[in-house]
Amino acid sequence: MGSLQGVGDAWNRSVVEVLVDGQVVALATVVDPAGLLVTKASELSGATLLAVKSFDGKVFPAKILRSDQANDLAVLQTAAEGLVAVRFATVLPEDGAFLVTIGAGGKPLALGSLSHGPRALPASEQAVLGIQPQDAGEGCELVEVTRGGAGDKAGLRAGDVVVGIDSRPIDDVTDLVNEIRRRRPGTSVSLEVLRQGQRHVIAATLAGRNVSPDNAARFKMMNRLGAIPSARAADFPWVLQHDTPLFSEQCGGPLLDLEGNVIGLNIARQGRIASLAIPGEQLVQLLPELAREELAEKERGNGR
């Protein structure tokens, strides 16, 4: 990393860390110096206390202004000062070119190379638990648990009431379905269940619609040899692929070529040798619409 010092100097005020309940969950990239940032939306799901740590180490509250589910992007607003907006390049280097991921202060975090040019990446196998739920006032009652399915293997029973997944509350069937669908087959989840008035925590490994629980767990083990994929690592309309070994909390930050051009925004760690980024050309089209209302409001406040 020492040899890469200086590559991100132009953007040393353009990246912040996103904190949920005091823990770093993602990076965010500055798209307007008045405090508009863009980051990976799915890492903020269920956030109760959101903040950002700026390039100078100061922590500021932040709020989510808008989300783009298709691209897994969220626009944040913060009062941090001295920010510099990035300029996204619309021309990509050739396949095999070295790429650099930077963090707060423009510090190089990881080095990789461009593996595959932009393409649509449809959803992989949809994760399933093998249950039939219904609203139960508090949480979701399981009307049926499919024999041999992921829920059955984990020990779920008809009549159980699911009230939480991975410490996130489940209020109704919509919550439960959304939490399962945003995960990949092979993902382990911790279910908080009410059974005959007693609370239990049950661990389950999600299967896929055409993948058995055993095969999904095997896939998970192989994929994680040296990598922990992002909770959402597929179903993107337009992404490029590179082989940078990112941590999930390094998504949401800029992806640079060796000249310091911001060619994209890291959006997911997909597997052992694959990370994904939204190309700069795509972001140039997306961001004006995502930030339009917020920028208009700011200009009205400034009397413009």
pLDDT in tens, 59-108: 999 999 998 988 999 999 999 999 999 999 999 999 999 999 999 999 99
Hey, what are 167's tokens?
């410490």
Complete domains list, the chain, with CATH: 2-116+238-249+278-301 (2.40.10.120), 127-223 (2.30.42.10)
Q: How confident is the model at residue 231 (pLDDT cuts 50, 70, 90)?
A: confident
Per-residue pLDDT of 178-205, as tens digits, reads 888 777 777 789 999 999 989 999 999 9
Q: For 209-232, what is the mean pLDDT?
A: 61
Confidence of residue 121 (pLDDT cuts 50, 70, 90): confident
Structural contact between residues 19 and 37, judged by C-beta atoms closer than 8 angstroms:
no
Residue type, 289: E
* 27-36, 257-266, 282-291: least confident range: 282-291
With a CB cutoff of 8 Å and minimum separation 6, the contacts of 81 are none
In this prediction, residue 249 has a pLDDT band, given cuts at 50, 70 and 90, of very high
Give the separation between CA 249 and CA 261, rounded to whole angstroms. 22
Which of 1-5, 137-141, 280-284 is predicted with the least confidence, judged by mean pLDDT? 1-5
Average pLDDT over the chain, rounded to an integer: 87
